[in-house]
Amino acid sequence: MRCDVLAIGTELLLGQIVDTNSAWIGEQLCTVGIDTYDHRKIGDNLGRMVESMHDMLTEADALIVCGGLGPTPDDVTREAIAEVMGVELERREELIEHIAALFGIRQRDMPANNLRQADIPIGASAIPNPLGTAPGVRAEVAGADGRKRVIYAVPGVPYEMQQMVTDHVLPDLLELSGEQSVIMSRSLKTWGTSESGLAEMIAARVDAQQNPTIAFLARGIEGLYVRLTAKAASEEEAAALIEAEEAELRTILGDLVFAVDDETMEHAVIQRCCDRGWTLGVAESLTGGLVGARLADPPGASEVYRGSIVSYATEVKREVLGVTAENVVSKECAQQMAEGARRVLGADVGISVTGVAGPTEQGGQPVGTVFFGLSVPGAPPEAMEAHLPGDRFRIRQFATISLLNLVRLRLDALA
Amino acid sequence: MRCDVLAIGTELLLGQIVDTNSAWIGEQLCTVGIDTYDHRKIGDNLGRMVESMHDMLTEADALIVCGGLGPTPDDVTREAIAEVMGVELERREELIEHIAALFGIRQRDMPANNLRQADIPIGASAIPNPLGTAPGVRAEVAGADGRKRVIYAVPGVPYEMQQMVTDHVLPDLLELSGEQSVIMSRSLKTWGTSESGLAEMIAARVDAQQNPTIAFLARGIEGLYVRLTAKAASEEEAAALIEAEEAELRTILGDLVFAVDDETMEHAVIQRCCDRGWTLGVAESLTGGLVGARLADPPGASEVYRGSIVSYATEVKREVLGVTAENVVSKECAQQMAEGARRVLGADVGISVTGVAGPTEQGGQPVGTVFFGLSVPGAPPEAMEAHLPGDRFRIRQFATISLLNLVRLRLDALA
């Protein structure tokens, strides 16, 4: 089964918006075992849309068309599909009601243009859109070889598109493909080694394993993910396959794994503090507030995260945090900042980062030099030095996740 | 002149990487007045690459192929172009030297695989890559109608691709198109009105103007940009056209314009403080550190930005910032936080934000309720209330840029 993707929108061609939808759809298709070989983007042009759909359906069994379902006259995906099917559009009463109801909820009048969103090619069906006014379209067309092809039109708004693909398009594709299996995947997120290093560590497992399959995803400063995808007759069987392989991989990867699936590094840190009933305070310098901003993000953060003293100026380090170290880019300073964070913020755990993000050296230290500090109950404060690559932006981002990872590892080591 | 874009890489189809290159290239082409109608991405598959190139060149005058120039055996863009041209590859001595020199600089041995990067189709030319080992390729092929078509192969690494497109591909395309004009563009960045509101304000200018043209770019939480693109016989003339229209637009848009081109909202705030010789301190709550992180970003930030007290916990608001307001989601609290930031951080200007990012209401205030505080020398502290839409993530981002915009406007109003 092969399903390709056609993204619609002149703004995509002109770079006013980056098309992230087709990548997301490609990932979903891959996860459920459907091939995808050709993704295209074209402008809001009826002739080119019709031509592209015809052309793409000579190779693909199904086509997801993303965008062009809006209310304005330049949104012509509905018309293009009708032309490919060789039929007219018909206005559906029940869709008008759905759209009007959404406007009712929002206490606004419905512009007449929005009625166009209730138009569906005769013989096609509407795909429900609980999140917006644009219903999707599911249309069957006969290929040149007489075999049935399916076009799915989904909105260009990412969260509307994602819900529609997850709830309707993927299940329908799986049914069409005759695939009876359950497909399940899990991502182990790692931090602390290179892509080639990670690949080497688990090369034997990757070679040995057909089910679940093992794939790498490099996510830049968010780390390297190892994704397991299992196929089985039931959810229980798929889960058992994933769990068995996850256990094998965890034996090899150890504490490189910081989270699973939707969890993040900050979630890992908040969770560990929560488990001990500890609160957390931050003192940060070159990161400007990034560490605090991440720690405020996970659910449950307010139980743990007290706040952050962003001591960008040296005097703030001295006057607010009580730093006495002469060099503010040093281990001593990082330790004193961590202790200051605990004291000033009334936290059980204090963590800190100071360093040189550039563009020029500071305190005799070259760009990229960073010191992390940690102060926990019942132990002397510690500090670690790191040398981070990249420009100002990357150094600050790397410093942030590196500090959080360090805190995770140290809290685990306390046992 | 029409130039389309073909992005190469199985990882793009599987969503392991989002293709941002084609959007960037599309923006450049648009800026210099070259049409682009069809962007595709396909995997590292020789047959499909050859087929796509043939197919795309039936419509386009030129094609930029992005990616597949790496050293590993799955990188076959060179082979695909040779096949489209109907020629063999030849290994170029001068390219081997360039690649070896890059490895020399990096003090590493050159893997034999990298020699493949010195292969160029016979009759094609190499495009220099000062930033990496992969030279680009410029190849001419005859279309079915006998007219010349050009294929440019550029690396998939964004900064290598961008330099090659800017330095070689665009000038070559402009020469081919016979375009003698200078093209210049400028973006006015606005914050504070809706896309339709902005469109209405400047509709008469958009209709009246052919040179410079006026386009909108919606950048989400970064605002709405109005981009002017002028075409003229010389740089001076193009600049004069842009300046005249910018003056007209600024008369209409007034203080909605917060920055130009690469400047950001935080740059606007830092600049205004810098002009007055004032330092700036932040007290933030729901944003967790985002305001501080943005203010640390612009060049010159260290002269102005003292730091931020991220008072996520109520006790930190009271104990560190001296907030006495009973309700910590209130105007009174925002004012006291701004004054606290000035005092604790030793800053001339104190700014603050407190509010409810969700998921649940707080202090009797619904999700999205936000209060901003401002305290400047010689004036009583102020506070403003806002109601922001969206989920937790968007509310925090909106609150951050809204506060910075407010500070910009208030500093300007001080005169």
A31: nearest CA in chain B? Answer: B14
Residues A169 and A195 both lie in one domain:
no
Q: Give the closest of A14, A36, A294 to B26, CB-based.
A: A14
Q: Does the distance separating the beta carbons of B307 and A307 come in below 8 Å?
A: no
Mutation test of the interface with chain B: which of A21, A161, A304, A308, choosing the one with the most B Cβ atoms within 10 A? A308
Q: Which residues on chain A are in Cβ contact (under 8 Å) with B50?
A: none
Q: Which residue reads 């995260």 in tokens?
A: A305
State the pLDDT at residue A385. Answer: 96
Segments of chain B scoring below 50 in pLDDT: none
State the pLDDT at residue A25. Answer: 97
Domain boundary among B134, B150, B176: B176
State the pLDDT at residue A105. Answer: 65
d(Cα B150, Cα B142) in Å, to the nearest integer? Answer: 9
Q: Does the distance separating the beta carbons of A43 and B39 come in below 8 Å?
A: no
Return the structure tokens found at A131: 């999140």
Query: Which residue range(s) make up the domain with A141?
Result: 3-176
Residues B127 and B160 both lie in one domain:
yes
Q: How many domains is chain A partitioned into structurally?
A: 3
State pLDDT tens for residues A45-72.
999 999 999 999 999 999 999 999 988 7
State the pLDDT at residue B336. Answer: 98
Q: Does the distance separating the beta carbons of A45 and B37 come in below 8 Å?
A: yes
Residues A275 and A403 both lie in one domain:
yes
Give the relative orientation of helices B392-414 and B265-276 as an angle to the nearest 10 degrees: 30
Residues A235 and A164 both lie in one domain:
no
CATH of the domain at A24: 3.40.980.10
Q: Does the distance separating the beta carbons of A30 and B15 come in below 8 Å?
A: yes
Residues A33 and A85 both lie in one domain:
yes
Q: Give the closest of B27, B38, B288 to A42, CB-based.
A: B38
Q: Give the closest of A26, A41, A55 to B15, CB-based.
A: A26
Residues A112 and A200 both lie in one domain:
no
Our CA dihedral for A407, A409, A412, A413, rounded to 10 degrees, sits at: -110
State pLDDT tens for residues A166-195.
999 999 999 999 877 777 889 999 998 877
Q: Give the closest of A15, A290, A307 to B26, CB-based.
A: A15
Residues A150 and A75 both lie in one domain:
yes
Question: How far away is chain A from the Cα of B296, in angstroms, using its nearest Cα?
Answer: 5
Mutation test of the interface with chain B: which of A8, A17, A21, A41, choosing the one with the most B Cβ atoms within 10 A? A41
CATH of the domain at A236: 3.30.70.2860
State the pLDDT at residue A8. Answer: 96
Mutation test of the interface with chain A: which of B113, B312, B403, choosing the one with the most A Cβ atoms within 10 A? B312
State the pLDDT at residue A106. Answer: 61
State the pLDDT at residue B278. Answer: 97
State pLDDT tens for residues A28-46.
998 888 999 999 999 999 9
Residues A375 and A390 both lie in one domain:
yes
Return the structure tokens found at A392: 């100002």
State the pLDDT at residue A107. Answer: 55
Q: Which helix (H) or strand (E) holds B100?
A: helix B93-105
Per-residue pLDDT for chain A (415 aa), expressed as one digit of tens each? 999 999 999 889 988 889 999 999 999 998 888 999 999 999 999 999 999 999 999 999 999 999 999 887 788 999 999 999 999 999 999 998 888 887 776 656 677 778 889 999 999 999 999 888 889 999 999 877 788 999 999 999 898 999 999 999 999 999 999 877 777 889 999 998 877 788 888 889 988 888 998 877 777 788 888 989 888 888 899 999 999 999 999 999 999 999 999 899 999 999 999 999 999 999 999 999 999 999 999 988 999 999 999 999 999 999 999 999 999 999 999 999 999 999 999 999 999 999 999 888 888 899 999 999 999 998 999 999 999 988 888 899 999 999 999 999 999 998 6
Residues B31 and B171 both lie in one domain:
yes
A43: nearest CA in chain B? Answer: B37
Q: Which residues on chain B are in Cβ contact (under 8 Å) with A13?
A: 26, 30, 36-37, 39
Amino acid at A222: E
Q: Give the closest of B296, B306, B319 to A316, CB-based.
A: B306
Domain boundary among A176, A210, A225: A176
A59: nearest CA in chain B? Answer: B48
Residues B339 and B230 both lie in one domain:
no
Contact (Cβ atoms closer than 8 angstroms) between residue A314 and residue A286: no
B312: nearest CA in chain A? Answer: A307
Residues B154 and B278 both lie in one domain:
no
Domain boundary among A235, A260, A285: A260
Q: Give the closest of B42, B286, B294 to A37, CB-based.
A: B42
Contact (Cβ atoms closer than 8 angstroms) between residue A57 and residue A50: no
Residues B255 and B131 both lie in one domain:
no
State the pLDDT at residue B147. Answer: 85
CATH of the domain at B355: 3.90.950.20
A397: nearest CA in chain B? Answer: B293
